[in-house]
Every structure is written in C-alpha cells, then in structure tokens.
Amino acid sequence: MLVEAEGNSATYASKAGLFTIDGVAASGLAGDVLLIQPREQRAERLIRATSPHNTLLVTERCDQLCVMCSQPPKKTHVDRFALFEEACMLAPENMLIGITGGEPTLYRHQLFDLIERIYRTRPDLSFHVLTNAQHFENDDIDRMLGPAYARVSWGIPLYASQSALHDEIVGKRGAFSQLLENFAILMRAGARIELRTVLLRGNYPALPELAHFVASRLRCIEAWSIMQLEHSGFARRRWASLAVNPRLDFAPLREAMDWSFLHQMPVQLFNIPRCALPEDYRRFAVASISDWKQKFLSACDGCRERDLCCGFFEWHPDQDECAKVTPL
C-alpha cells in the first residue's frame, strides 16, 4: 500500500514492513507487479500494468546457441516459477504475458503446471511462449489438449527449410529434424503456433524456399513472423557478417511474401521500419518493438506513418546502414 509519494520516490507499507523505491514516481508504478528483494536492495518490475509487452524470463539456460542470440544463455538456472505464478495472478485483466528464456521448455512440466494453475484462477490471461520446440514429447499431447492451452500461443523459430542451414544457425546438430517431429506433436495437440524467422545473411537467399516449405508443410500455423535482426547479444559484435538490409535488397523477402500471400499464409513483418519496405508491403509490417525499448530517429519527426511504425530498438546504432530512414 502506498503511504508516501514525493517526486521520484515512493514509500509503501507491506506485511514485511515499510520500503521505499527511488528513481520512479509512484504514478509510474500504479498497478504494476514488483518483486522486492530487501536484502539485495532491489526492486524488479515483473508486470507493467499499462504495457502490452510484458515478458517473464523463466530461465537463462538453453540447449541451442543461435549465432545471433539476443540473450546469450547461461549455464545456471534460478527457479522463479512460483514467483512468476504469483505475479501473473496479480496481472491486470485480459493481459497477454510473454514467457521467454533461455529455453522455457527445458522446464516444461513446471511451465505446464504454471499455465494450468493460472488458467484455473485467471482464465482471462493468455500467454505467448517463445520456445525452440525441441523438448515436446508424445506424452504431452493429452495434457496440451486441455482448455488452458487454448490461451497459449507458441512462438517457434524456423530459419530455413534446409536442415543443415537451420542447424548451423541454431548451433545444434539435429535441431531441424527434432523440430519437424515436434511440430507434428504440437499439431496433434492443436497448439497455436507462431513461426518466427530472423533475417540473416546466411538464410536470406533461401527465404523463398522456406516460404514454399511453410506453405506446403506448415499450413496450420497461426502466423509467420519474419523479422529483422536485433542489434544485441551475439548479433551486436557479428552485425556486419549477419545483418541484411531489406531496404537495399528486398528481392528474397518479396518473393517469400508473394508466395505466402498467394497461398493465404498469415505472414507478418517485425522490426522492419515502414520506410524500408515498398508501399504494397507496408500493410504486413507490425509495430512490433515494445514501447519501453523503442526509439525513433530525429529524421522520423514529421513522418506521417510514425504512429504505425516499429521504429528501432533503443540500442540500435544511429549510424548503421539500416537506420538510414526516408520519412514517408
């Protein structure tokens, strides 16, 4: 309970006593869910009430090592499932909550428990789980046919239709064939799947082939999100060798999108500014960058499509070739 607010400082009363949070006004915390760790003198905001982009990082462990990973994995794991469950229970009504890692399904039974327990008390909430889909098993199908999973969509990366190329990108031999096996499990479980493909120099020329593969083999997906690389994690220091700029070379993306559109596949573009796309393709661009990590450049001032545009990640270098914008 808030007992005092002054400038960028707010004091609250709790069962464990009084605590003060500095650096943010009380109004900026209203309705949020915070984890307070008094011994560490730390407050961590788990849920922002006013943001549509809330994500819980359930583990930093991963069994893949993607060349462009934005959140390079760690070997250690701190189990915070119980805390996340409490946070979800306190979330605003009808919120969509992201679950990410590392690889969340390394702890899939705990993840399933969390989803099901929350559904029993808060059926209004829904989840989007980012997963490499390497760890589902046939035994999961019955469980995943339960009503809780109608509130869950699974964001699953697929980088190429060639197994060697996909495996090379994710740094795991056999990942592609495991993924295909597990797509079959997920489809039998009626899982809602969002396919995700990051554009890289390595897979960009093969994108049209991937579109053919998706349209013929993965027709039941809910969405195919094709996305621009994020300038963070491993990609930051490998940017020159990994990044593609659709503004300068749109041909593979055009071909993939045309094929998807022709076959009525639900394709969408993430993290690509609208001015980097030909006009006919801008309707596929989603304002995908979370509000708290989004920026626009000074040249964007006056752009008439700014409100619809994803802009750039806050940490994207202004001098990068991809950041040469042309206001619309």
Which residues lie near ligand SF4 (CB under 6 A)? 273-275, 296, 300, 303, 305-306, 309, 311, 325, 327-328
Q: Which is nearer to ligand SF4, 175 or 303 (CB)?
A: 303
Q: Which residues contact 163 (CB under 8 A, 6 or more apart)?
A: 176, 177
Distance in angstroms (rounded) separating the CA atoms of residues 283 and 246: 16
Q: Which is nearer to ligand SF4, 149 or 284 (CB)?
A: 284
Q: Which is nearer to ligand SF4, 56 or 285 (CB)?
A: 285
**Is 231 within 8 Å of 285 (Cβ atoms)?**
no
**Is 232 within 8 Å of 315 (Cβ atoms)?**
yes
Q: Which is nearer to ligand SF4, 228 or 260 (CB)?
A: 228
Alpha helices in 64-197 (DSSP H): 81-89, 108-121, 140-144, 163-170, 175-188
- Shortest Cβ 254–ligand SF4 spacing (Å): 18
- Shortest Cβ 266–ligand SF4 spacing (Å): 23
- Shortest Cβ 296–ligand SF4 spacing (Å): 5
Backbone angles phi, psi at 313, to 5 degrees: -65, 145
- Shortest Cβ 52–ligand SF4 spacing (Å): 19
Q: Which is nearer to ligand SF4, 150 or 287 (CB)?
A: 287
Q: Which of 37-49 are b and which e, b meaning 16 or more Cβ less than 10 Å from the residue's Cβ?
A: eeeeeebebbbbe
Alpha helices in 157-229 (DSSP H): 163-170, 175-188, 207-217
Strand partners for 225 = 196, 268
- Shortest Cβ 288–ligand SF4 spacing (Å): 12
